[in-house]
Amino acid sequence: MEKVLGFIGRYQMIVSGDKIVAGISGGADSVCLLFVLLELREEMGIEIVAVHVNHGLRGENAKRDEVFVQELCRKHDVKCVVYHENVESISKKRKQSVEEAGRVVRREAFERTLLACGGTKIAMAHHQNDNAETLLMNLARGTGLKGLGGIQPVAGNIIRPLLCLNRREIERFVEEIGCGFCQDETNEEDDYTRNRLRHQVIPVLEEQVNAQAVRHMNEAMEQIRGLQDYMEMQTEQAYQDCAAKQKDGGICIYEAGYRKLHRVLQGLLIRRCLTRAAGAERDITMAHVEAVAGLFEKQTGRSRDLPYSVKAVRNYDGVVLKKKTDVQKKGFSPIQLRVPGITRVPELNLTICCSILEKSVDFSAKQAPQKTYTKWFDYDIIKGDLIIRPRQGRDSIVIDKDGRSQKIKSYFINEKIPSEERDCVPLIADEKQIIWILGYRMSSACQITVQTHRVLEIKVTEEKSDVREDYGFSTRKRS
């Protein structure tokens, strides 16, 4: 008991007046947890609410455990809340393993109770053997520094007072106080990964490598957690310096800053950005981190598919991580422009006003507006109707007075327009050619000259949001 109380004090897990929601399954570890909390109830005046979850998996044995927990709590004047769940059905609906679904259901039950009773903390009965199993699973599946730190003694409002004890110490304590406990027969089966590690791997380590293997693994994890705290601060600083959330929801890791980081910090930064883009951390491995890192050595446009529907795309600035639904931007439908007249393009939130101006006697090309979204064109050169549309395969634009042209694709590459944004850049075209890459440049073939008789003025305005912001328009080069 002294060992546990010292551990609780070291991490400041519990303070006077806390209302603790404790997960009590009826097993030796949760019974031990309950008695530790009962000791603190006397010393610190805390309040205890026990939560028991019947998973609906073990029939009469599950009912036996439920009754045991209720009786134990009644005996010690502890409020007990019982939840009945069909974990097998939930696992199918959520497309999770039964083991994972059970873990999530328990956590949800604890959180609901915490909210309902006005609790301050959730106490869970994880111990050193659980932590060793977690470390081995993380190592086998692939993990970063956080995974090597194992289970945290304190994580938000969750506390784990028994992480200083191994399974043998817990069972010995329960025997000494003369309290029985429940045996979950499924823990003896090897159907789950954790059980196989418990029965087949850890005993070999203890018997054939070192009897204190579990303790040594926990000591190493404690040191790693200290290192992790330091690296957490460094990683957050790197995120502030080298990455930024974009308006479309993606996160860009800028190459200039990324290259200056130590290799270890580069990996931690990628993991941080990937986790934030995905909205989850589970199942993100070193293989995924390395896949993103590899994109910095690839050409623009290369990409990698990652967990949680995240796609990493190499662009001119670095690597962007975003959900595929954000990556796959919609184009827009072609619309014929009214000349003269006003045309609205709802998909782009644009209004386009076309006017035909007669050239005055004292006309000069210098009178043409020098505005990004207002342009003058030689109307007599334009053939047929004008339309606003996305790019097409063989599009090109005349770039000088000699009639030389450049493919739109090449122009976009030279202007460093990200590949995923190119289908959203509007083009205005007649029956023969592109006359204006909206927001970038107009065709040299349609510029007004001294021979021009009629001037077509096209003025573009946005209806809701800044056009350049929404469609990737740039102010780098205008003509």
Known binding residues are 25-30
Q: Work out whether the CA dihedral 457, 461, 466, 472 comes out positive or negative.
A: negative
- CA dihedral in degrees (395, 475, 442, 332; nearest 10)? 50
Which helix (H) or strand (E) is 106 found in, with range?
A: helix 98-117
3-state secondary structure of 134: helix
- Residues 76, 403: Cα–Cα separation, whole Å: 93
What does the alpha-carbon distance between residue 235 and residue 276 come to, in Å, rounded to a whole number? 13
Interacting residues of 73 by C-beta distance below 8 A, sequence separation 6+: 24, 34, 50, 79, 80
Pairing between strand 374-378 and 350-358?
unpaired
Local structure of residue 465 (DSSP, 8 states): S
List beta partners, residue 377: 456
Order across the sheet with 47-54: list the strands. Answer: 79-84, 47-54, 19-23, 121-123, 158-159, 154-155
Q: Residue 187: which of 110, 261, 129 has the closest Cα?
A: 129
CB 284 within 8 Å of CB 274: yes
Known binding-site residue numbers for ATP = 25-30
**CA-closest candidate to residue 291, choices 304, 272, 308:** 304
Residue 117 CB-density burial (10 A; 0-12 exposed, 13-18 middle, 19+ buried): middle
Q: Are the CB atoms for 258 and 294 separated by under 8 Å? A: no
